[in-house]
């Protein structure tokens, strides 16, 4: 199965990289994200809970980055297990490019899926995949202070301003390679896409 796409993020590449370097930002943006752990400079593991129709499962995945060409792109290889719900493995080529005042993230995925989720109807699967992707990019855009179709997020403790301050105050020495976090985001989002597109 092949999946391609792109998303525009209304922030400079530098702002996107900084936010993608913060695990707390990612945990807030990735629907169902429970944990993200760095294994090495090019490997990480994550866990996310998703529900598609009657099937709900916690998926654990691992991603490895290669062909790294910062800040232009890299290849991400990943695999995930959801117990009886299914499995996924595959790779994706990812590119980041400045676009005016924003950034365009492009991806080409080649994946294999199996298990119960691959047997669910394609309309339900497609709808869930789009919903999860939309939720991630909406949250990420709001945290970076951008507007979405529903307007700006209401100011509160989790407001874009609070996250910008948190990012500015963060200890630079403890940050992880931004490519790892881009990989984390894509792994979790792609696992959802892989599982939810498997019935095609």
- The secondary structure of 51-91 as a DSSP string is EETTEEEEEEEEEEEEEEETTTEEEEEEEEE-GGG-EEEEE
Strand order in the sheet with 73-81: 2-9, 102-114, 87-99, 73-81, 55-69, 43-52, 33-40
Q: At what angle do helices 122-143 and 160-169 cross, to 10 degrees?
A: 70
Q: Which of 153, 116, 165 is nearest to 18 (CA)?
A: 165
Q: The domain containing residue 23 runs over which residues?
A: 2-197
Q: How many domains does the chain have?
A: 1
Distance CA 186, CA 184 (A): 5
Burial class for 117, CB neighbours closer than 10 Å (0-12, 13-18, 19+): buried
pTM above 0.75?
A: no
pLDDT at 29: 84
Identify the CATH number of the domain in which residue 170 sits. 3.30.530.20
pLDDT at 59: 77
Distance CA 80, CA 86 (A): 9
Distance CA 186, CA 96 (A): 12
Q: Which two tokens stand for residue 4?
A: 């391609």
pLDDT at 99: 94
Assess contact for 77 and 91: CB atoms under 8 A. yes
Question: Residues of the chain whose pLDDT is less than 70?
Answer: 1-3, 17-18, 20-23, 52, 71-72, 82, 85-88, 111-114, 117-130, 146-200
Question: Can you tell me whether residue 96 is helix, strand or coil?
Answer: strand
Phi and psi dihedrals of 8, rounded to 5? -95, 135
pLDDT at 100: 93
């Amino acid at each position: 199965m092949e999946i391609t796409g792109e998303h525009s993020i209304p922030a400079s590449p530098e702002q996107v990289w900084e936010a993608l370097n913060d695990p707390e930002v990612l945990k807030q943006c990735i629907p169902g994200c429970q944990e993200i752990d760095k294994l090495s400079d090019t490997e990480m593991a994550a866990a996310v809970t998703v529900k598609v129709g009657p099937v709900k499962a916690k998926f654990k995945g691992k991603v490895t980055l290669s062909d790294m060409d910062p800040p232009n792109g890299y290849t991400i290889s990943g695999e995930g297990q959801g117990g009886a719900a299914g499995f996924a493995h595959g790779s994706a080529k990812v590119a980041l490019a400045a676009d005016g005042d924003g950034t365009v993230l492009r991806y080409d995925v080649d994946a294999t899926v199996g298990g119960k989720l691959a047997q669910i109807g394609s309309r339900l699967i497609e709808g869930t995949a789009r919903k999860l992707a939309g939720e991630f990019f909406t949250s990420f855009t709001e945290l970076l202070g951008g507007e979405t179709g529903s307007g700006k997020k209401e100011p509160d403790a989790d407001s874009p301003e609070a996250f910008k301050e948190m990012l500015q105050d963060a200890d630079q020495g403890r940050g992880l390679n931004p490519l790892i976090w881009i990989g984390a985001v894509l792994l979790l989002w792609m696992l959802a896409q892989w599982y939810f597109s498997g019935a095609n």
